[in-house]
Structure formats: C-alpha cells, structure tokens
Chain A
C-alpha cells in the first residue's frame, strides 16, 4: 500500500467513525439543525428595540382644544398609548407601580401660557431605569412635540419658523427596523454557540470515556485525528448556517444586498474558527463539565455582549475594545451586518475575513499542538 492511500484510508475511517457517532447520538443533529431554527424564531421575534405603544400617563388639569390636540398627537404617533389622569398624584401612583412608562403634565394654565411670552412648559417625567429605552423615548417625545408645534401654528394661520431644521436620512435601513440589524447579528451569535458546542464536548467525551486510548493505539496521526473530527461537524454546521440565512430572508424579511457567495465563503471561514475554538477548549479541558462551562463562558456570553451585535464596540472603554479583537464573532457580525444591509463592501469583508483567517490558523494550530498522543499529557 502506498503511504498516500494509507493516509486517505485512515482519514476516511476516522470521518466515518465520527459521522456514525453523530448519526447515532441525535444530540449533535439537534444542535446543528433544531437549535438554530428555534433560537432564530424566538429571538427574531423576541429581541426588538423598537418601542411600540408605550403606556404614557397624560395629566390634563384643564381640558380644551389645545390639550386634546396634544394628546391626539401622542396617540397618532403610534409610539404611545396615552392614558388620561386628572391629577398628578394619581399619575404618580401609576408611575410608581410601573403601569405607565412616563408622565406628561399639562397644568391648568397650559393654554393661557401658550400665548404668553416665554411659552408654556410641558413637564415630562420618564422612567430612566432602562436608559436606552428612555433615550429613544425622549426622541419620540421630541418628535411628537415638534409635530404638534407645526399643527398648532397652522391652526392659527401662521407658519412655524424653525431656524435650523434637521433633515435626517438613514441609509441601509430607512424604516429603522431593529430586526434588520439584530437578525444578522443573531446568526453570528447562534453560529458561535453551535460551532463551539458541536466540537467542545466531543474530544472531552473521548477522554472521559477512555475511548481516546483506543484511538491512540491505532496508527492514526494527530493531524488526521483533528481533520477527521472537524469534517463532519463542519458540514453539519454549514447546514445549520444555510437554514439560518434562509430564515432571515424569508421569515424575517431581512434584505440580502450582498452576494450569496461572499456570504457562504465568509460563513465557512467563521465556522472553521468556531469549530477550532471548540476543539481547543475540549483538548485543553479533557472533562465534559469543564469543557461545557468554558464554552458557555467564553463563547456565548462574549458573542452576545462584546461582538457589536447589540452594544456598539466604538463606545466601550479602550481596554475593553482591545479584548473584543480576540472575539471571532466581532468580525463575523461586522461582515454579516454589511452583507445583509449594505452590500459587498469589500474593505469591510476583506479586513474582517483576514482577521478570521488568522484566528482559524491560531485555533486549529493550537488544538493540533495541544493534542498529544500520550496518556500522561
């Protein structure tokens, strides 16, 4: 037998063994196919930053045409569900019980002071606990206020004169739909989880069950062992990946403005990084409990919090920004958000792919080096 064909045979045997193992223990298949579907459905619908119909208390101490047009402006904006209260005390009580998110207070001299010099103050209290939502709500309230000022001026036959008028244009996502940016990011988070989970427990399991010894007495080389373990899981992971993309496009109506092939190529690269990371964890841990814990701790949570999927990396403190450079999901999130919403932006695709390539080499290289064919290691 030629050395080349022996190598091929060993590799084929290894891949066959791993594939059979996957097929007979349905948990890997569940991880690759069921998990992404369930997670994307839950989070695609569940994770949203778009406030809808926020309950808002409106205290009108003296109702007249002006106050009702202002209440109407809040109702018509679609962001608020205004509820009327006659005294500030009652509104305050509802606010304390978290029945309403904020209070708009129109005092009894509201209409009178509209005509006076200096204007009429509209007092607004909002619950600031969720700072992000509070800020976005502030923006909505300012929008309602400006719309109402325009209407008020028009009913009095004058034109509202604003010195500088802001004219925003939001590119790539004109409707500012948070789902459009969250779903591509979720794909990255889910794929990190799946890639790392698929492999992280595989090797640890062989050590625990003692089957690693059985593998060691075979003539298989370390490199072949690593490849043999990777190939089946890579195919499984890519299957899950395609499923997620299909759901993003057809279930959640996220546009794909870049090319499908760039998406596939970068996803394959990322899948190798995630699998390599899982393999490294399992080689080092040699214990399913530790491997499982570590893969939750160093894959899922960082991918969720530090990848730019939801929290902007540029706003983090400098040292934290450095840490994000070693989180593979960071690069993949950047690629996905651009590919889906903006198109094939080559500078972004290439620079992030280069980073992923480096990480792939490092993870797989380390896993290969740490993987000793010795029992005492």
Chain B
C-alpha cells in the first residue's frame, strides 16, 4: 500500500468510528441545527418592547405628545402609568419597568416660555448595555421632538445638525452581525470535539497501540486523523452558511471563494488544536476538558459578541493566537462588507501559522509518545 491509500484507509476508519454510533451521529447533526436557529433569533442586542412606565404630572398637549412619541415607538411598550414618586422604586427594583419617564408639573409651561423643559428618565442599570441603548433610542426621539417643536413655534434650528449613516448594515440589525459569527462558532465547536477525542478514545480502548504497529508513519496518522474533522467541519459549515443566507436572509456580498479559503484554514488550525489536545490527553475525560478549556476562551475572546478593541491591551495580544478571531473578520467581511482575497490577506496568514504550529506540535507528540 502506498502512503495515499494508507491515509485514506485511516480517514475512512475515523469517519466510520464517529458516524456509526447512533448517538454520536445525532450529536453531530441535531444540536448544531437547533442551535443555529435558536441562537440566530436569540442572540440579538436590538431592543424591542422595552417596558416603560410613565409618570406625567403635566398632562398638557405637548407632554402627551412626547409621551405618545416614546410609547408609540416600536422599541418601547408602556406597561404602567403612575402618579406617585414612591411607585418608581418598586417598578424598577422588581424589573417590571426598565425605565420611568417623569415629566414635572411645569413641563409645558417651561416649554412655552422657552426655558429648558426637563424630561427625567430613571433607567435600570443592571444591564448597562441595555441602559445605554435605551438612552440612545430616547435621545433620538427627543431630538426629533425638539426639531418639530422648534419648527412649529418659529424657533431657529440648531447651528449644526448630525447626519449619521451606518454603512454595510444600514438598519443596524444585530442579526447580520451575529449569524455569520455562528458559522464560525459551531464549526469550531464541532471540529474541536471530533478531533479532541480521536486519539484519547483509541488510547482508552487500547486500539492506539494497534495503530502504532501498522506500517503507518506518524505523519500519515496525523493526516488520517485530521481528515474527518475537516470534512465534518466543511459539511456543517456549508450547511450553516446556506441557512444564514436563505433562512436568516443575511446578505452575502463578497467572494465565496475567499470565504471558503478562510474556512479551510480555520478548520485546519482547529484540527491542529484538537489533535494537540487529544494527544496530550490520556483519557477521554481529559480530552473533553481540554476541548472545553480551549473553546470557552476561544469563543469569548474572539469578538463574537463583544469587540476585541474594547479589551485591555494584554488580552488583545492574547487574541492574536485565536484562529476564530481571524475567521470572524473573514465571515463578516465577506458577508456584509463584500470583501475578497486581497483585503483578507492579513487574516489568512496568521491562521496558516497557527495551523502549521499546532499540527507540528501534534505530530511531534505522536512520535514522542511512540518512543
């Protein structure tokens, strides 16, 4: 048998070992699909139906107009109307309302006399991101109100006005940002776990020794063991990609080839890491633990949900060895910004380095264990 045949035989055997067990097969297919759909809808920063309580002591036409503009916006949902100060605390504390809008008794009087009329809002800051977004929505509504009011009452508009236009994601939909990320997230989880256990499982069953006495060279074992992870990753990655485009309707604006090159390099580095974990682990439990220890930080420190630029300097340095970081830029670049190979070059080469390094270490560990 030549090298190629031997590798192929091992790769087929590896795939069969994973796919023949009914439960393992289900684990590889069922949960990723369910997760893609659930997370695609769940993972959103966009707020709607924010519970709002109104405390309007003024009750004149302008104050009612302002309240109607806020309560009528799709972001807010008025859950209660109050008439005492004391009611505010329990509404906010018990999370019945996320914010209370308070207009004092002289609101419209001040407005008419040209003094600043105060719209006080009390926001629950337990989720600071939600608090900031809520404040942003309110600011936009109040700025609109001010412009309309000024126009109707002959007041000059402000000397400068802002015209903010978001690019690439014109309506600022969180889903467009998160769903491409899920392609990377699930591909990483599946590949790492498939390869992370491949050596440990054989070592526990004692079949790894049998593999070692075959005429296969360590490099051939390495390639044969990598192949299933890459094949499964590519198949599932493609499936999730199709779902992102046809189910979630995220626009795919860039080059598909550039995306697949990225996915291949990404899977290669994930397989390298998985095999490294696997050859270090003596038992499957350690293999799983190792896979976890890698996955958890790799997901959170990848820019999947929170931007890398917000992290402290030393954590940012740490993310440089995380392959997911680069793949996320590729995914979002190709999906939303319409990127092609050229712009993504700086994302490709670090993944190549990571793949070479991890595969080399895994190969060395194989040989090391053999001696």
- The chain A residues found within 8 Å of chain B, CB to CB, are 25, 27, 30-31, 35, 39, 42-43, 45-52, 54, 95-97, 110, 114-115, 117-136, 138-139, 141-142, 145, 148-149, 152-153, 160-174, 176-178, 180-181, 193, 197, 201, 205, 208, 285, 287-290, 292-294, 296-298, 300-302, 304-306, 308, 310-312, 314-317, 320, 323-324, 334, 337-338, 341-342, 345, 347-348
Contacts and interface: CB of A to CB of B under 8 A. Distances in A.
B139 A142 contact: yes
A166 B119 contact: yes
Contact of A197 (B121, B142, B289): B289
Query: Which of B149, B300, B301: most chain A Cβ within 10 A?
Result: B300
Given A181-B126, A205-B285, A305-B39, A121 B163 contact: yes
Given A119-B161, A126-B167, A164-B149, A47 B306 contact: yes
Interface of B: 21, 23-24, 27-28, 31, 35, 38-39, 41-51, 66, 92-95, 98, 111, 114, 116-133, 135-136, 138-140, 142-143, 145-146, 149-150, 155-170, 172-174, 176-177, 185, 189, 193, 197, 201, 204, 283-289, 291-293, 295-297, 299-301, 305-307, 309-312, 314-315, 318, 332, 336-337, 343
Contacts of A304: 299-300
Contacts of B35: 297, 301
Contact of A193 (B122, B149, B296): B296
A51 to B, nearest CB: 6
Contacts of B39: 301, 305-306
* Listed residue (A124, A128, A136) with the most chain B CB atoms within 10 angstroms of its CB: A128
Contact of A162 (B116, B129, B283, B285): B116
A174 B124 CA distance: 10
A65 to B, nearest CB: 14
A122 B160 CA distance: 7
A337 B127 contact: yes
Contact of B123 (A48, A169, A301, A337): A169
Contacts, number: 352
B296 A167 contact: no
A178 B69 CA distance: 29
Contacts of A124: 162-165
A305 B305 CA distance: 9
A115 to B, nearest CB: 7
Contacts of B293: 35
Contact of B126 (A119, A161, A306, A338): A338
Contact of B201 (A31, A52, A289, A338): A289
B105 to A, nearest CB: 15
A161 B150 CA distance: 10
Contacts of B165: 123-126
A197 B158 contact: no
Contact of B128 (A49, A122, A165, A289): A49
B24 A315 contact: no
Nearest to A156: B159
Given A292-B284, A323-B38, A168 B297 contact: no
B125 A297 contact: no
Given A52-B309, A134-B169, A164-B145, 15 more contacts: A27-B285, A50-B310, A125-B167, A129-B168, A142-B139, A163-B116, A165-B119, A168-B121, A169-B123, A176-B132, A296-B295, A297-B35, A312-B45, A337-B126, A348-B94
6 contacts: A45-B315, A125-B167, A138-B164, A176-B131, A205-B283, A289-B21
A173 B125 contact: yes
B128 A128 contact: no
Tell me what chain B mostly uses at the interface: helix, strand, loop, or mixed.
helix
**Interface-centre pick from B158, B189, B283, B315 (highest chain A CB count, 10 A):** B158
A129 B288 contact: no
Given A174-B125, A176-B128, A193-B292, A163 B146 contact: yes
Contacts of A123: 163, 165
Contact of B297 (A39, A119, A171): A39
Contacts of B166: 125-128, 131, 134, 138
B91 to A, nearest CB: 11
B310 A48 contact: yes
A316 B40 CA distance: 10
Contacts of B128: 49, 170, 173, 176-178, 180-181
B136 A139 contact: yes
A129 B166 CA distance: 9
Given A312-B47, A315-B46, A316-B42, A136 B136 contact: yes
Contact of A54 (B92, B156, B289, B309): B309
The 9 A-B residue pairs whose C-beta atoms are closest, nearest first, are: A128-B166, A173-B125, A292-B288, A128-B169, A132-B45, A139-B136, A170-B125, A131-B172, A297-B31
Contacts of A126: 164-167
Instruction: With a 10 A CB-CB cut-off, give which of B117, B201, B288 has the most chain A CB atoms.
Output: B288
Nearest to B204: A208
Contacts of B167: 95, 125-128
Contacts of A119: 157-161
Contacts of A288: 197, 284-285, 288
Given A39-B296, A128-B167, A169-B122, A315 B93 contact: no
Contacts of A47: 300, 305-306, 311
A138 B165 CA distance: 10
B155 A131 contact: no
Contacts of B168: 127-129
Given A124-B165, A289-B197, A316-B41, A135 B133 contact: yes
Contacts of A338: 95, 126
A46 B297 CA distance: 9
A348 B95 contact: yes
A315 B292 CA distance: 29
A304 B46 CA distance: 17
